[in-house]
Amino acid sequence: MRLTSFTDFGLRMLMRMASTPGRGYSTSELAEEFQLSRNHLSKIMQRLSRAGVIETRRGGGGGAVLARPPEELRLGALVEILEDGQALVACFEPGEKAARSKSAVA
């Protein structure tokens, strides 16, 4: 299984945030740390926010924080949120079973 760069950076961001729970991280700060565009990181944050994984706060002392304790987050659930519609393994892709069955017989 190969993860998209979107998922890779999303998980890295969450690990960073889990290292100091309760601290707010700005998009600019995380983008600089991971050498990623703010725009790309903003999209990751939006998806995680909509899923209830992080909370975003505006203003001084704001930023993104984990919405729940790190020990309650599950890697599989996070990958599903970040991959959004991607087949996690080839056998989950539509028509993949039929294609494999035919090639196994030939």
Confidence (pLDDT) at 103: 39
pLDDT at 36: 92
pLDDT (0 to 100) of residue 3: 83
Dihedral class, residue 23 (left if φ above 0, else alpha if ψ from -120 to 50, else beta): beta
Domain encompassing residue 47 = 5-105
Distance CA 83, CA 86 (A): 5
DSSP state, residue 52: T
Number of structural domains the chain divides into: 1
Q: How far apart are CA 57 and CA 103, in angstroms?
A: 52
Q: What is the pTM for the complete model shown?
A: 0.76
* DSSP symbol at 2: -
Each of the 106 residues of the chain gets a pLDDT tens digit; together they read 678 999 999 999 999 999 998 899 999 999 999 999 999 999 999 999 999 999 998 877 789 999 999 999 999 999 999 997 655 555 555 555 544 433 333 3
Q: What is the CATH number of the domain that holds 84?
A: 1.10.10.10
- Rounded distance between C-alpha atoms, residue 50 and residue 48, angstroms: 6
Q: Quick one: three-class SS letters along 92-106? A: HCCCHHHHHHHHHHC
Both tokens assigned to 11: 């998980």
Q: Write down the pLDDT at residue 86.
A: 59
